[in-house]
């Protein structure tokens, strides 16, 4: 049911502002957790690195705008991604052009290709999370200042830090870690996802014991197929993610004390 504006309502009575979307896109590549950044081609912040994103059209759904901006700036298209809203950033002055409110999203998927910069960006590339200076992020390799880290445009460093914390926290207690994996995977590959996201090494025996005790995370691949070893060793059993939606894990896999995490006032979150 559509509604009409009340009699006497004048939009000019209210200050205008713009709505944008920003995307923190993560994948696991080359042994580490990567995030997608684009080099801005235009002012403000021309030449600075930023999250892909842009303005929402007047007749456009927010989620549709997120996917469109991702394709326009990087050449990546929608596949079997996990995408969710992260939060809203709307501090006055965050954008020098005008009052701009951004609805930030976080997305992740496995084996994403090299991005191709579109018309709105000079370059697009995957950055290792350890090569970025993100406010409040400690653990992994973030306990010391990051040399030669790029200054991110707008408030994107704060958005990216919050996005990382969302991903790192959710794989503790939900099955979303499997979204970083291909359709079938070994337990070693799944363990590598946890290690890449958290920036730590996990004990292999303890991890496998936790997987066996946890409900709702994985199930054996229906074909009973085995993955041939790359060197010596026995073939590894293949597993697949549960297909009945994202589920809460019992018990959760809690981050070790030295894992990457947002810390405020010196206290781990």
How many CA atoms within 13 Å lie on the side-chain side of 136?
17
Instruction: For residue 229, name the pLDDT band (cuts at 50, 70, 90).
Output: low
CATH number of 17-170, picked from 3.90.79.10, 3.40.50.880, 3.10.20.30, 2.40.430.10: 3.90.79.10
pLDDT for the residue numbered 268: 44
Look up residue 66 and give its two tokens: 């997120």
pLDDT at 1 over 60: no
pLDDT at 233 over 90: no
Q: So where are the chain's domains?
A: 17-170
pLDDT at 213 over 80: yes
pLDDT for the residue numbered 159: 97
Q: Which residues of 82-104 are buried (b: 16+ CB within 10 A; e: fewer)?
A: bbeebeebeeeeebeeeebebbb
What are the distances in angstroms from CA 210 to CA 22, 28, 172, 205, 206?
Answer: 35, 22, 12, 9, 6
Predicted model pTM: 0.88
CB 138 within 8 A of CB 218: no
């Amino acid at each position: 049911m559509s509604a009409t504006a009340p009699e006497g309502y004048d939009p000019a009575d209210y200050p205008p502002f713009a709505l944008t979307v920003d995307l923190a896109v993560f994948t696991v590549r080359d042994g580490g957790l990567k995030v997608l950044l684009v080099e801005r081609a235009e002012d403000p912040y021309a030449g600075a690195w930023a999250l892909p994103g842009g303005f929402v059209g007047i007749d456009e759904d927010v989620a549709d705008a997120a996917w469109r901006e991702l394709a326009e700036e990087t050449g990546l298209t929608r596949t079997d991604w996990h995408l969710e809203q992260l939060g809203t950033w709307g501090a006055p002055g965050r954008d020098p052009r005008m009052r701009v409110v951004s609805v930030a999203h976080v997305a992740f998927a496995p084996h994403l290709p090299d991005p191709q910069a579109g018309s709105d960006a000079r370059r697009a590339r995957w950055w290792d999370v350890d090569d970025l200076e993100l406010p409040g992020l400690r653990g992994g390799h973030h306990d010391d200042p990051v040399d030669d880290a790029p200054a991110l445009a707008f408030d994107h460093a704060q958005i990216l830090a919050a996005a990382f914390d969302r991903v790192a926290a959710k794989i503790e207690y939900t099955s979303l870690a499997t979204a970083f994996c291909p359709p079938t995977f070994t337990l070693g590959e799944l363990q590598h996802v946890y290690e890449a996201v958290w920036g730590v090494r996990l004990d292999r025996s303890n991890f496998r014991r936790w997987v066996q005790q946890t409900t709702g995370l994985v199930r054996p691949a229906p074909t009973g197929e085995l993955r041939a070893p790359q060197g010596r060793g026995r073939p590894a059993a293949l597993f697949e993610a549960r297909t009945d939606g994202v589920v809460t894990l019992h018990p959760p896999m809690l981050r070790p004390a030295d894992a990457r995490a947002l810390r405020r006032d010196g206290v781990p979150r």
